[in-house]
Each structure stands twice: as C-alpha cells, then as structure tokens.
Amino acid sequence: MSEADLTIHVCTACRRVRADLPEGYDQPGLALAEALAERLIAKGSAIPVLPVECLAVCKRPCTVAFAADGKWTYLIGDLETETHLDEIVGAAEAYAASANGIVAWKERPPSFRKGVVARVPPLPARQQG
Amino acid sequence: MSEADLTIHVCTACRRVRADLPEGYDQPGLALAEALAERLIAKGSAIPVLPVECLAVCKRPCTVAFAADGKWTYLIGDLETETHLDEIVGAAEAYAASANGIVAWKERPPSFRKGVVARVPPLPARQQG
C-alpha cells in the first residue's frame, strides 16, 4: 500500500456545529487527519494522509477524498474521528487494494455507504487495468 | 485546448423532477453531454465530453466534473442545458487555460459559483506548475 495505491485528502476547513463551544463550532478535520495518519503508520501502511484547506463540501464534516492515479476518486462526508477511524482505515485498505477504486458495496463500511458526496472517474488516458 | 487541459464528465444518471411527465422525472444529463460536445466542436475546441453513468451526487442534476492531469477536480451541480450551456463552455475554457484548475472567483460564471458540489486537489506526484 503506497501513494500510488491511494492518497487520502482530509478537509480541515469544514465547521461542525458545537453548541457547547463559545464559537458555536469546531473544525474537526485536522484532528481526523492526524489520528488517521497515526493509525495508518501504526499499521505499517504507507498510505499518505494530506490535510487540505477546502474540499468545498462544507456542510458534511469531516469530508475526505480517496484518490489515486488511474482510479475513481471518491468523496465521503459525515465522518468523525471518535466513531469512524476504524471504518476509514478499512475503506482505505479496500480502495488501495482495488484495481480501479470501486469497492464492492458489501465490502464498504456503513459510513462509506451513507456518506458518499460524489465520485469522479479516472481520466481516460490514465485508466488502469 | 485538449484532453490534457480538461476532460468534462457529465452524469447521465441524475433524475430531474418533471411533474408534467408520466414518470415524474427525466434524465437530462445525456442531452447536456450531447449539446455541450456539439457546442465545443463548433467552436473548434478539442475538450472531450464524456457521459458518465453516475457521479453519485444524484440530487443536483445535471452534475458535471472538470478534471485534468495535475489540476484540481471540480464537481458542479444544478446545471441545465437550456440556460447554462454558454456558461459551461466559458467555465471550461477558463479551466483549460488555468495552470492548476483553480479559476479566479470573478471569472467564474454564476452557475459555477453557486453550483460547486466539491473539489479535490491533484495528486502530489502529478501537480503542475
């Protein structure tokens, strides 16, 4: 599993409603990116996790994008560090192992079935397999 | 302007509510893809338009994706052939001419300011400029 198999982009701009905070929101993406990177490193994975300033989804924090050269790109929202870290890692491993980025429905964790924001096919010139 | 500068993916699966039709909906993406391709060819552009079975946005027909090797990918929804064809062509030319896929806000047509569904950065190994 390497950058060639998958790069994970994590949006750090999205605001999550938090009535208990003075500002009324927090921005949980950076903490998710850090926790996800740590978890992958602990597993010996070389999948890179890149914080991104804005994926322009905005209303579904945290949002992440799975992308790789020659594969479909998937955008997934509504992810939380506290509850979904294991599912994100599992989904990442399945995506990285896939030929084209499309993981069978039954192999997708619940948060990845519900959270799809969009997907984009690979460029024709760079399609694999 | 060539495939290297921009590939336009047009979702043909989205259903648009049409109370005047027996089914209650139509699927306007294919007509948009055809009209857009014709318009670009008529202008002498080599930007390819590819119908895609599903971009998984679903609720914002028509949805298109602008993508190119080494550039940000943009997903735009709420586009209609009848009203937005000129704006899509203009946005496509601006994207194709850009170094990284990011077009200045003031140069984006209204439908592209309002319609952003998501964006994804280029893979680190393939970033340009």
**Burial of residue A117 (number of CB atoms within 10 Å: 0-12, 13-18, 19+):** buried
Residue A75 pairs with which residues in a beta bridge? A65, A118
The fraction of chain A above a pLDDT of 70, given in percent, is 96
Residue A2 has pLDDT above 90, yes or no: no
Which of B10, B14, B58, B120 has the most A C-beta neighbours within 10 Å, making it the best mutation to test the interface with A?
B120
pLDDT value of position A3: 66
Q: How far from the centroid of its chain's Cα atoms is residue A17's Cα?
A: 20
**CB–CB of A118 and B3 under 8 A?**
no
Chain A CA closest to residue B10 = A120
Contact B118, B72 (CB under 8 A): no
Q: Inter-chain contact B117–A116, Cβ cutoff 8 Å?
A: no
- Whether B16 shows a pLDDT value over 70: the answer reads yes
The percent of residues in chain A predicted with pLDDT above 90, rounded, is 81
Contact A125 B57 (CB under 8 A): no
| Residues B45-66: tens digit of each pLDDT | 999 999 999 899 888 999 999 9
Quick: pLDDT tens for A13-68: 988 888 999 999 989 999 999 999 999 999 999 999 999 998 998 889 999 999 99
The CA distances from residue A111 to A34, A117, B129, in Å, are 19, 12, 36
CB atoms inside a 10 Å sphere around CB A95: 25
